[in-house]
């Protein structure tokens, strides 16, 4: 083997591969890898010896000042006091001549007693205990095989370690979170054990097996951790919580975060060298290297491709992570959490949207040293300081210019896509693994582009939200399972034959991004069989094969989607998907051909106008606007437009024939869409406020988020009219002055309301600067 070799300073020694608990979230026994079944229960003394020699050899050859060895399992205490003494003595005797040896252990604590504690003090072993919080939280997963609680056993172990004579061996607590637990109770339970350090772990998950996301909250892990973080900061950070400390700018990272090269190897009970343990969650054998301590040195293992790729810092990450403004702190998340069959580890973390939001939450608090004085908002909860150099600032500052750059738009689109996938997984968790889910999983591996094309459709998310909470989007009627239609649409795009039972809505089967099948006599469900270019439908007495010809007359029952060419690509005229009815105002039914053509022409011309007037805003439209929905006419309000928070990538407009007017509507609404995507990630407004603010563009006082949306949209409209005013466009100067005055007043009222978070204040202050600039990407 050749190539440069790296120094490894951390080693995990699996001294016992079985366990006396039976936790259902355990990656050793319950996840994809099952290699434990073929290994000896106890690490034999000769294997301990071989491991110690390899570590000592590496320390000597590389002049390592310190080596960290963690005794691990399964459950290491199952080795017993005598077995542990033998192993600890071997490690100290063999390694200490060459490097300082930092000995640690990770245990479930069940078997911990005085004799073991004395042994750990004697050999200077620092012991971490796995404990998930209060009784409900801990026993949700951490139970014996007979289902009995481990809570009292673990608390007894923690009490032992707190005793003054053993306290030096108390390293801290490892807590795996579950968003169904109460974060306050978990926090209080952890604090009560007075640990020197707490490690919070996200449950292991991959894109193949996404984490549980109960409820419609798109980033429940960020939300849950954010609550715990706030409590911790408000209490004056009474214990070290490594996740929060590591995520701060310059926080140094951990195995789960940051760009530091991987510096850890595992030695299994049979002497096999393995990569990090968490990989066991990806697939059977994922952590394997094919090497062992008897025949292979640490240097040889460090050159293994799976280890080497993790030395490449940002270059070893996927394109989305490389473009991410917080990549230096997130580092793409835990390596194992990036796994997806097909693209392997070349993905962002399955927790991507949560991580982005969590980093923002951490940034919203002052650095721990020196302690900065915290101002309180009217709500009395959220400090207002904002780190001046946070990469999240850069994203918000970029958007506050008005259009935002193409890389920022790409990141917003990527996080919105992550949210859609997370909602899909939440449906699977809530309603079980159906044939439609299985088909989507299969297609995701066999034809990922086809699945991507369907899932990026703006109205997929409203369907999933509606399925999870039918009260979230009133007006959509009874919730039906949207997965069969998504899977069939993806199969058709992929040219993969498939058959599923698909719910019928309002007499139609909608295949998102493709079109509607409208056949008289359809019942509530239909048996849909697809082959390339055709669909066969059976429902009650209806049995029909439909050729998916885009030029087929409507009489065939197939109503294909229509799109138009715009300078940025193709724009869908969405008038068939039932979930487009999520704007809180009536939408047009399927447009007649002349009306569709007229709207298409107007949109094409309007896009050109945006490019002419404000090219930077046109680039922002190119970066994410995929569909336009026609709103139903209302004589009282002939000029209307709308955006829906759950439908990123689409705007709704009244089909106004004038491209100059339509251009303003598009720019205006796209601002709302971008800001909605930002608000999925960051709190810009203090939550739970009853504040109402008077603004010039509405007769009624508005909530802060409404004003924020208003000023952001009006900033862009001001920029359009300013640009037009530089030409001989009639009335442009008056319009520019009008929108400038509105936006200024709105911004000032918003800032004076004290209802924004620190990030929100920064965003609106930057927006105020952008407002006073004369041009934005203008001719």
* Contacts to ligand SF4 by CB under 6 A: 19, 21-23, 26, 28-29, 73-75, 108, 130, 142, 320-321, 324, 326-327, 330, 332-333, 348-349, 352, 355-356
Q: Which is nearer to ligand SF4, 57 or 328 (CB)?
A: 328
Q: Are 183 and 228 in contact (CB under 8 A)?
A: yes
Minimum distance of ligand SF4 from residue 282's CB (angstroms): 16
Beta carbon nearer to ligand SF4, 35 or 130: 130
- DSSP for 483-527? HHHHHHHHHHHHT--EEEEEE-BTTEEEETTTEEEE-TT--SEEE
Q: b vs e for 326-339, b when ≥16 Cβ sit within 10 Å of the residue's Cβ? A: bbbbbbbbbbbbbb
Q: How far is the CB of 477 from ligand SF4 (least distance, A)?
A: 35
Residue ranges in 142-283 assigned as alpha helix (H): 151-162, 183-192, 220-234, 242-247
CB nearer ligand SF4, residue 212 or residue 297: 212
Q: CB 407 → ligand SF4: shortest distance, Å?
A: 12
79 within 8 A of 28, measured Cβ to Cβ: no
Q: Answer left, alpha or beta for residue 408, where phi above 0 means left and psi between -120 and 50 means alpha.
A: alpha
DSSP string, 697-755: T-SS-B-HHHHHHHHHHHHHHHHHHHHHHTTT-TTHHHHHHHHHHHHHHHHHHHHHTT-
Using the minimum distance from each CB to ligand SF4, give the nearer residue, 32 or 356: 356
Question: Could you tell me the smallest distance in angstroms from the CB atom of residue 216 to ligand SF4?
Answer: 21
Query: Residue 539 CB, nearest distance to ligand SF4 (Å)?
Result: 42
Evaluate whether 330 touches 390 at the Cβ level (below 8 Å).
Answer: no
Q: Are 588 and 535 in contact (CB under 8 A)?
A: no
Task: At 679, list the tokens.
Answer: 């608000």
Identify which of residues 253 and 560 has a Cβ nearer to ligand SF4 in the complex. 253
Least Cβ distance, residue 679 to ligand SF4 (angstroms): 17
As given in the structure block, the two tokens for residue 551 are 């030029």
Question: What's 135's DSSP letter?
Answer: H
Q: How far is the CB of 395 from ligand SF4 (least distance, A)?
A: 10
- Strands 170-176 and 197-201 come out as parallel
Angle between the 435-446 and 483-494 helix axes, to the nearest 10 degrees? 30
Nearer to ligand SF4, 20 or 660 (CB): 20
Token pair for 690: 């009853």
Biggest alpha carbon–alpha carbon distance for the chain: 92
In whole angstroms, the minimum distance from the beta carbon of 135 to ligand SF4 comes to 16
Q: By C-beta, is 74 or 462 nearer to ligand SF4?
A: 74
Round the CA-based radius of gyration of the chain to a whole number and report it: 29
> Least Å distance between CB 518 and ligand SF4?
41
Residue nearer to ligand SF4 on the CB measure, 75 or 581: 75
Task: Output the smallest distance, CB 316 to ligand SF4, in A.
Answer: 12
Three-class DSSP category at 15: coil
Q: Pick the closer one to ligand SF4 by CB: 224 or 742.
A: 224
If the CB atoms of residues 47 and 176 are measured against ligand SF4, the closer one turns out to be 176
């Amino acid at each position: 083997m050749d190539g440069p070799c790296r120094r490894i300073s951390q080693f995990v020694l699996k001294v016992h591969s079985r366990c006396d608990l039976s936790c259902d979230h355990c990656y050793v026994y319950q996840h994809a890898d099952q290699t434990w079944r073929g290994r000896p229960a106890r690490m034999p003394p000769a294997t301990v010896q071989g491991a110690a020699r390899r570590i000592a050899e590496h320390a000597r050859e590389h002049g390592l000042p310190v080596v960290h060895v963690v005794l691990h399992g399964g459950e290491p205490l199952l080795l017993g006091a005598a077995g542990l003494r033998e192993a600890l003595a071997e490690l100290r005797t063999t390694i200490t001549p060459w490097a300082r040896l930092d000995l640690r252990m990770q245990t479930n604590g069940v078997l911990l007693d005085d004799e073991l504690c004395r042994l750990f003090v004697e050999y200077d072993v620092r012991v971490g205990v796995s404990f998930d919080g209060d009784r409900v939280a801990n026993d949700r997963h951490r139970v014996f095989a007979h289902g009995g609680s481990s809570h009292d056993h673990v608390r007894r172990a923690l009490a032992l370690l707190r005793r003054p004579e053993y306290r030096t061996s108390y390293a801290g607590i490892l807590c795996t979170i579950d968003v169904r637990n109460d974060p306050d109770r978990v926090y209080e339970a952890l604090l009560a054990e007075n640990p020197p350090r707490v490690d919070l772990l996200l449950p292991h998950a991959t894109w193949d097996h996404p984490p549980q996301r109960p409820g419609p909250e798109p980033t429940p892990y960020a939300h849950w951790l954010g609550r715990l973080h706030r409590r911790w900061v408000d209490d004056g950070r009474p214990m070290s919580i490594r996740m929060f400390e590591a995520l701060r700018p310059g926080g140094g990272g951990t195995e789960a975060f940051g760009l530091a090269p991987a510096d850890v190897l595992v030695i299994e009970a049979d002497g096999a060298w393995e990569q990090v343990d968490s990989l066991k969650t990806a697939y059977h054998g994922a952590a394997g290297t094919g090497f062992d301590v008897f025949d292979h040195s640490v240097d040889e293992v460090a050159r293994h491709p799976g280890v080497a790729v993790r030395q490449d810092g940002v270059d070893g990450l996927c394109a989305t992570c490389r473009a991410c403004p917080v990549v230096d702190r997130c580092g793409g998340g835990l390596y194992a959490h990036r796994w997806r069959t097909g693209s392997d580890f070349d993905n962002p973390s399955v927790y991507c949207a949560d991580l982005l939001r969590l980093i923002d939450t951490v940034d919203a608090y002052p650095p721990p040293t020196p302690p900065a004085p915290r101002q309180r908002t009217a709500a009395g909860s959220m400090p207002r300081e904002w780190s001046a150099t946070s990469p999240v600032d850069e994203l918000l500052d970029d958007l506050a210019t008005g259009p935002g750059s193409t890389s920022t738009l790409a990141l917003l689109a990527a996080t919105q896509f992550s949210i859609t996938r997370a909602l899909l997984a939440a449906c699977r968790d809530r309603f079980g693994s159906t044939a439609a889910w299985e088909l989507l999983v299969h297609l995701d591996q066999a034809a990922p582009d086809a699945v991507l094309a369907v899932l990026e459709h703006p109205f997929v998310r409203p369907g999933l939200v509606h399925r999870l909470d039918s009260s979230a989007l009133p007006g959509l009627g009874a919730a039906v399972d949207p997965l069969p239609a998504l899977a069939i649409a993806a199969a058709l795009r992929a040219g993969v034959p498939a058959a599923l039972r698909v719910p019928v809505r309002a007499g139609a089967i909608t295949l998102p991004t493709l079109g509607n099948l409208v056949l008289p006599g359809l019942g509530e469900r239909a048996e849909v069989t697809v082959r390339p270019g055709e669909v066969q439908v059976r429902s009650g007495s209806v049995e029909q094969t439909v050729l998916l010809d885009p030029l087929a007359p409507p009489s065939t029952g197939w109503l294909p989607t229509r799109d138009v060419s715009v300078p940025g690509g193709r724009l869908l005229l969405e008038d068939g998907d039932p979930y487009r009815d999520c704007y809180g105002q009536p939408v047009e039914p399927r447009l007649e051909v002349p009306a569709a053509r007229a709207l298409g022409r107007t949109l094409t011309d309007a896009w050109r106008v945006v490019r002419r007037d404000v090219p930077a805003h046109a680039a922002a439209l190119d970066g994410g606007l995929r569909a336009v929905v026609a709103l139903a006419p209302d004589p009282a309000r002939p000029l209307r437009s709308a955006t829906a928070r759950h439908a990123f990538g689409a705007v709704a407009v009244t089909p106004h024939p004038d491209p100059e007017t339509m251009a303003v509507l598009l720019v205006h609404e796209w601002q709302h869409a971008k800001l909605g995507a930002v608000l999925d990630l960051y709190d810009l407004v203090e939550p739970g406020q009853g504040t109402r603010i008077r603004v010039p563009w509405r007769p009624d006082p508005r909530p802060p988020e409404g004003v924020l949306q208003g000023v952001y949209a009006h900033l862009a409209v001001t920029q359009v009219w300013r640009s037009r005013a530089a030409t001989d466009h009639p009335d442009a100067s008056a319009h520019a002055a009008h929108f400038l005055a509105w936006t200024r007043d709105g911004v000032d009222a918003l800032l004076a309301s004290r209802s924004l978070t620190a990030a929100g204040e920064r965003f609106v202050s930057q927006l105020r600067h952008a407002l006073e600039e004369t041009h934005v990407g203008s001719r």
